[in-house]
Structures are given as structure tokens and as C-alpha cells.
């Protein structure tokens, strides 16, 4: 009967079982409503999550709506250029005040009773305010600000809890890889475009695991890769990547990377070779040969818990329900390159990883199949791959072969810590 005990009684830390040679994750992490509720509360609503990119709210007055855990928010830029993350909730009777996804406005007017707020949050209008009792004040009734908002290289993160390390510290284990990604724009920042939006019938963590899973591509994406091969497009043979010294990394904090490591510029602009050459020459000029090569190498960087930096896209993971997840995948424009190069990148990203991509939908099919299998309540999932040869650096960074489950283990090491964090105090 022990296995039938409720998760709370067993403790969240026990959902990940680690020995010298085994790393097992309980199927409960994907299939129990109680676990999902706690993930939303402890991970999404208490730690740093990615909410948007500077370029989405580039101009004064620009805004974007988003969701942190289950909290609807508005990300705004005021007339002085400052960025705010505000709860999209009227202080009167808790209506959502902004119903659009993107726009530009100095003010937000609640549609219910027209309480009106500045885009920095202050309440500036209450219709027929004289009906309120003496002493009623609009001060103290500003839109609630998300406790922490900060950005790094254009990536905006927010935390509903003030009790978090600075963003710098949160990102520090993986910062080198964020820099390599951001340095692809020379003399400016990336500009993200409207996202591809899709959904799948499965738990949110499948997408987190899969984007840095080097074991599956040659199998799940065989139909795409062999078709590309038939048409002579690119060097997509996933099994080759392993031979060429490609690697996976896991970092403290749950972050990870999957790196093609092929020093051939495969990460950027494959389909327009003359532009790719120009671009790489320019990178070498600015950064030197070695760093330029690193910058254009194929690289997937996962920042716990909800964002991937890909070669052509920024991918955001939004848990909606235990078995339903939305994904918003923003193509981005490199700064300082010819338009046709960016257009080609857009085309290739859409071909591969959009809602209709030749690669992406097969991953989503695996997630639905995975969630289906979990209904059988088989207790432990096996994430041992490559444990025996994982290299651990003094700072806790772990490195393995491309197809090893190093990133997934790093995800669950951190996951277990966060999920168990406040248990003792309860």
C-alpha cells in the first residue's frame, strides 16, 4: 500500500530517487493534480519566470499581456521607458482590465466600472467617486506590481515573490550561453516577432525535457530528417551530431543546454550560404575566430522553468492544466544583418519548429503518448542515461554526451529542491 500513499505524505523530494548509477523520477510528477498545483504555486508563482522580450514592448506605451502561473499580467513600458509587470486585475472588483494581447496605451480602463489606471499602475480615475465614503483614497489602489521584474540581454523575467535571489544570480550558471545567443546580434538586440502558438495534451515538463533531449531526434524526427536528406537540405542527421563531439550540459538551478558543437555555423542561416559567410566573417571581426565559432554553433539553452533560446526562436512554455500545455514560440530578427538573411531564418524556423513545422508536431505527439502511458501509474521513469560518464565541475555544472540525460537530471534535481523547499515549515 505504500505506493498508494498521497504524495504529500511521502514528501516531494522523494519523487526523485538518485543513487550512484540510477536516476529515477516518479510518474507522479506528471500525473498528480496535487503536484501540478504545487508546481504552479512554488515554481511559477514564487520564482523567476520568463515573461517577454524588450523588443515586444519597444516603444513608450507598448504593452503585452502574459500569465505567470495562473496570474494574468500586463507587461508595460511607460512614457519614460521604464518596464512594469502589473497584475491585470482591477483593484475594485478584480476584473481583468486589459483583454488584448499586444497594444499601445498610456492608460488601462477597466471595462466593468471604468476605474482607470496609468500604464505604470497608478489609479487615476474612479467614475462618480463622490459616492464613496469620506476618506476613500485612490492611493493604495494602484494595480499590483509583480514583486520583481528585471531583464538580461533583452530577456525580461519576473517573480511574484520578492524572496528570490537577484536575476543575475538566478541566471549565472547559464549566463555564458545566454551571452553566446545574444551576441548573435551585432551592435544591438534581437527583435522578437509574433509567436507561433500551439498546444499539446500533456504535462508542461515534457517540453522542458524534450528541447534539450539529444536522444530522440534521429528517431522521432526521422521522417523530417530523411526528407530533408532526399532534397539535399542541410546536415540534419542527428546521429552524426553525437559523433562530432556534441554535448549536453546541466546546471545548478535546473538550467541546461544541448549543443551541436559542430563548428560549422550550422546554427545560423543554413539556407543562404553567401549571407551566412558574410555574417560569420563579421562575427569573426567583432569577436575573434574562436568566439565567433562558438556563437554560430547550434545550441539549445533552457532557462528554468519556462524558456528556451533556440537558433531561430525563443520558446515559452505555459502550463495550463496537468495534461494541457501551451507553447509560444517567437521567431527573432538578428540586428545588423541584411533582411533577406533574417527572412531566410524566419522561413527555416517556420519549416522546422512552427505549429505546422516538419519537426515540431512529432514531438507534441510524443508528449500526448507519454501522458497516455502515465495513466497506467507505472511508478518510476528511467533517466540514468550517461550517468556513469557524466563530468561534474566544481561549480556543479555537469556535462555529457549529446544523447545523455544530463539536462533532464539537472531539471529534476532542481525541481525536487524547489518542490520540497517549504515542506519542513508546514
Partner 1 sequence: MVSTARITRQEAEDFLYEEARLLDERDFFPWLDLFTEDAIYWIPIEEHSDPTRATSILWDDAQLRALRVHQLAHERNFAQSPPSRTVHSVTNVQVSPGDADNEAKVRCNLVVYEVRSGDHRQLGLGDLRALPAKCLYVLRYEERWRIAHKKVVLINRHMPLINLSFLI
H helix count then E strand count, the chain:
14, 23
* Residue 347 or 380 with smaller CB distance to partner 1: 347
Assign 413 to helix, strand or coil: helix
Closest CA to 389 of 400, 378, 398: 400
Calpha distance 34→8 (Å, rounded): 8
Least distance from partner 1 to the Cβ atom of residue 220, Å: 6
Closest CA to 164 of 150, 178, 144: 150
Least distance from partner 1 to the Cβ atom of residue 236, Å: 12
Least distance from partner 1 to the Cβ atom of residue 352, Å: 11
* Residue 126 or 317 with smaller CB distance to partner 1: 317
Task: Produce one character per residue of 10-20: b if its CB has 16 or more CB atoms within 10 Å, e if not.
Answer: eebeebbebee
Least distance from partner 1 to the Cβ atom of residue 342, Å: 8
* Residue 331 or 407 with smaller CB distance to partner 1: 331
- Judge whether 61 and 79 are in contact, CB under 8 Å: yes
* Residue 29 or 146 with smaller CB distance to partner 1: 29
Calpha distance 285→282 (Å, rounded): 5
* Residue 174 or 366 with smaller CB distance to partner 1: 366
Least distance from partner 1 to the Cβ atom of residue 194, Å: 4
* Residue 317 or 387 with smaller CB distance to partner 1: 317
Least distance from partner 1 to the Cβ atom of residue 393, Å: 36
Calpha distance 148→2 (Å, rounded): 41
Contact footprint for partner 1 (CB under 8 A): 101, 193-202, 220, 222-224, 226-228, 230-231, 233, 323, 326-328, 330-331, 339, 342-343, 346-347, 350-351, 354-356, 358, 361-362, 364-366, 368-369, 371-372
Calpha distance 419→40 (Å, rounded): 10
Amino acid at each position: 500500500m505504500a505506493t498508494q500513499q498521497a504524495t504529500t505524505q511521502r514528501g516531494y523530494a522523494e519523487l526523485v530517487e538518485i543513487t550512484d548509477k540510477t536516476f529515477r523520477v516518479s510518474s507522479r510528477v506528471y500525473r498528480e493534480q496535487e503536484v501540478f498545483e504545487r508546481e504552479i504555486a512554488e515554481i511559477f508563482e514564487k520564482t523567476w519566470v520568463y515573461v517577454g522580450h524588450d523588443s515586444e514592448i519597444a516603444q513608450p506605451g507598448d504593452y503585452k499581456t502574459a500569465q505567470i502561473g495562473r496570474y494574468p499580467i500586463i507587461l508595460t513600458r511607460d512614457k519614460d521607458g521604464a518596464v512594469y509587470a502589473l497584475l491585470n486585475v482591477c483593484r475594485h472588483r478584480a476584473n481583468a482590465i486589459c483583454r488584448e494581447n499586444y497594444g499601445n496605451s498610456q492608460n488601462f480602463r477597466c471595462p466593468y466600472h471604468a476605474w482607470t489606471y496609468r500604464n505604470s499602475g497608478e489609479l487615476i480615475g474612479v467614475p462618480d467617486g463622490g459616492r464613496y465614503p469620506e476618506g476613500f483614497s485612490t492611493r493604495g489602489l494602484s494595480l499590483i506590481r509583480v514583486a520583481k521584474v528585471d531583464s538580461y540581454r533583452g530577456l525580461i523575467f519576473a517573480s511574484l515573490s520578492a524572496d528570490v535571489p537577484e536575476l543575475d544570480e538566478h541566471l549565472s550558471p547559464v549566463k555564458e550561453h545566454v551571452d553566446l545567443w545574444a551576441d548573435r546580434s551585432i551592435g544591438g538586440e534581437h527583435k522578437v516577432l509574433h509567436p507561433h502558438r500551439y498546444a499539446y495534451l500533456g504535462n508542461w515538463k515534457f517540453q522542458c525535457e524534450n528541447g534539450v533531449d539529444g536522444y530522440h531526434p534521429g528517431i522521432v524526427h526521422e521522417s523530417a530528417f530523411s526528407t530533408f536528406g532526399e532534397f539535399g537540405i542541410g546536415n540534419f542527421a542527428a546521429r552524426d551530431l553525437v559523433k562530432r563531439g556534441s554535448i549536453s550540459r546541466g546546471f545548478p538551478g535546473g538550467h541546461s543546454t544541448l549543443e551541436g558543437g559542430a563548428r560549422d555555423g550550422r546554427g545560423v542561416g543554413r539556407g543562404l550560404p553567401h549571407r551566412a559567410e558574410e555574417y560569420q566573417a563579421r562575427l569573426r571581426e567583432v569577436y575573434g575566430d574562436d568566439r565567433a565559432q562558438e556563437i554560430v554553433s547550434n545550441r539549445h539553452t533552457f532557462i528554468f522553468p519556462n524558456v528556451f533560446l533556440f537558433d531561430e526562436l525563443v520558446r515559452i512554455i505555459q502550463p495550463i492544466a496537468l495534461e494541457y500545455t501551451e507553447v509560444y514560440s517567437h521567431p527573432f530578427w538578428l540586428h545588423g544583418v541584411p533582411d533577406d538573411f533574417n527572412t531566410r531564418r524566419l522561413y527555416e524556423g517556420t519549416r522546422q519548429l512552427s505549429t505546422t513545422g516538419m519537426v515540431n508536431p512529432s514531438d507534441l505527439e510524443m508528449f500526448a503518448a507519454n501522458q497516455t502511458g502515465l495513466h497506467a501509474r507505472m511508478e518510476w521513469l528511467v533517466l540514468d542515461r550517461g550517468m556513469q560518464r557524466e563530468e561534474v565541475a566544481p561549480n556543479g555544472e555537469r556535462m555529457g554526451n549529446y544523447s545523455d540525460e544530463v539536462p533532464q537530471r539537472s531539471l529534476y534535481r532542481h525541481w525536487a529542491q524547489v518542490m520540497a523547499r517549504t515542506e519542513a515549515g508546514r
